[in-house]
Amino acid sequence: MPSYRFATRAQAKATAPVALPEGTINLSGGFAFPQCLPNVAAAAAVAAEEYRTEAMQYSGAVGLNDLRDAIVNYVAKDGVTCTRDNVIVVNGAKHGLDLVARVFLEPGDAVIVTGPTYMTALSILRTHEARFLSIPQDEEGLDAVVLEEKLEQLQRDGAPMPKLLFDVPDFHNPSGITMSARRRRALVDLAKRYGFVIIEDDPYRRIRFDGEAVAPIKSFDDAGVVIAVGTAAKVLAPGLRIGWIIADPEIVRQLAAQKADGGTSAFTQRIFVELLRTGEVAHHIDLITNALREHCDAMIKAFAKYMPDVKVRRPQGGYYLWAELPEGVDSDMLAGLGASHGVLVYSGTKCFAADLKRNFLRLCYSFVTPEQNAEGIRRLSEAYAEMQGGLNPAAQQRASHAASSMATY
């Protein structure tokens, strides 16, 4: 075998996957519920036949104008006012975040994140060699008072100020918290005062089980300090790989210039335009919201039954539960051991940029049925019981490897 001279960044990331037992229940990545996947055949036929010359070409860096206009209308329902010039289409929210990082970050620049935060955002930002300023959350979301104190301190010290803030204000991944309106306003205020830009990553906003929607951070932005990132992945299908960014036209131009792929597939963009136009997206959102409410409740009930000493907060929507294990229980061990009991969950340690907490799990209830969600928690409780009996060093090592090698999305 040749000895490849991989870059350091490649070697740091690639770990060998662990083989999983047949019938493993996947409560890890935020996959779509297979029983609710949309049928896009009619929209695809329109794209392929009526729009063939457009659909089979490069689309251009900013995306199809029809889709940009449709996104303007889509976000207007949330109170975001913008025009086509504020919109760029991307290959999903993660691609959007990567582009924003390319445009804003020099190695060593600081990004404000919540502790915990979306694990893949951390890995994307790490590839840009970001430093992190990790701020805790309370029931209202990112703690703006703690953030302000830290920013004041940095200013007093003459230290470089963070350039970006990344957050998921609705049904936060992983904590499930929805940020209050006053916090959203406070963040915009801090961004204006301290000169950073907020990335509002909001894939779950429309998957609301109950309670009142809170206006997006972008709707409070009167100074061009918020970059709103959206995606079709969670409201329709991740396989489409369609996302969008809404930002000041100057930022949009910079993002477009950093694209290296000739633009998002015009074929899937046109499919998405059709699905928005025919009302399929709105219909689908109702469908999955109703399904996921049941999934979520089944998982919470199963925790109460099988692992009553684990604390979970019911989110008002979204895809995830953030489970707090009793102090001292090692989440890496439990996630790794869970895999050998036939259930995949993420250790919460993946979600911290700093001030690592070792006793949280992130669970996703979207992918499997309510019954399988319950069975997954039962299996996890078996792993938990085994752990409490004490693990020998070889079993500990196997469990840690299994936890760290899980693919993330």
Ligand X SMILES: Cc1ncc(COP(=O)(O)O)c(C=O)c1O
Question: Do 382 and 310 meet the contact criterion of CB atoms below 8 Å apart?
Answer: no
Work out whether strand 226-231 and strand 131-138 pair parallel, antiparallel, or are unpaired: unpaired
Count the residues of the shown chain that bind ligand X, applying the rule CB under 6 A. Answer: 14
Residue type, 8: T
> Using CB under 6 A, which of 71, 100, 142, 233 touches ligand X?
233
Binding string to ligand X for residues 98 to 137, with x set by CB under 6 A, is what?
Answer: --------------------x-------------------
Q: Name the minimum Å distance from CB 32 to ligand X.
A: 10
Looking at beta carbons only, is 96 or 162 nearer to ligand X?
Answer: 96
- C-alpha–C-alpha distance, residues 409 and 102, integer Å: 20
- C-alpha–C-alpha distance, residues 132 and 130, integer Å: 6
Which 73-92 positions form the footprint of ligand X (CB under 6 A)? 92
Binding string to ligand X for residues 242 to 271, with x set by CB under 6 A, is what?
Answer: -x----------------------------
Is the preceding omega at residue 308 within 30 degrees of 0, hence cis?
Answer: no
Residue type, 44: A
Q: Name the minimum Å distance from CB 30 to ligand X.
A: 4
Q: Name the minimum Å distance from CB 350 to ligand X.
A: 12
- Residue 208 gets which letter from DSSP? B
Rule CB under 6 A: say whether 63 interacts with ligand X. Answer: no
Bridge partners (DSSP) of residue 113 are 134
Q: Which conformational region is residue 63 in: left (phi greater than 0), alpha (psi within -120 to 50 degrees), or beta?
A: left
Q: Name the minimum Å distance from CB 370 to ligand X.
A: 21
Q: Name the minimum Å distance from CB 226 to ligand X.
A: 16
Looking at beta carbons only, is 58 or 409 nearer to ligand X?
Answer: 409
Cα torsion 147, 151, 157, 161: sign: positive
Which 136-155 positions form the footprint of ligand X (CB under 6 A)? none
What is the crossing angle of helices 93-104 and 119-127, to 10°? 40
Looking at beta carbons only, is 361 or 399 nearer to ligand X?
Answer: 361
Work out whether strand 197-201 and strand 164-167 pair parallel, antiparallel, or are unpaired: parallel
Looking at beta carbons only, is 93 or 312 nearer to ligand X?
Answer: 93
- For 230, 283, 288, the CA distances from 36, given in Å and listed in that order, are 20, 11, 7
Which 154-213 positions form the footprint of ligand X (CB under 6 A)? 168, 173, 201, 203
Q: Which stretch binds ligand X (CB under 6 A): 72-80, 231-239, 306-314, 325-333?
A: 231-239
Q: Name the minimum Å distance from CB 50 to ligand X.
A: 26
Which 9-48 positions form the footprint of ligand X (CB under 6 A)? 30
Rule CB under 6 A: say whether 94 interacts with ligand X. Answer: yes
Name the 3-class secondary structure at 174: coil
What is the chain's percent helix, strand, coil content, to nearest 5?
Answer: 45, 15, 40
Contact footprint for ligand X (CB under 6 A): 30, 92-94, 118, 168, 173, 201, 203, 231, 233, 238, 243, 409
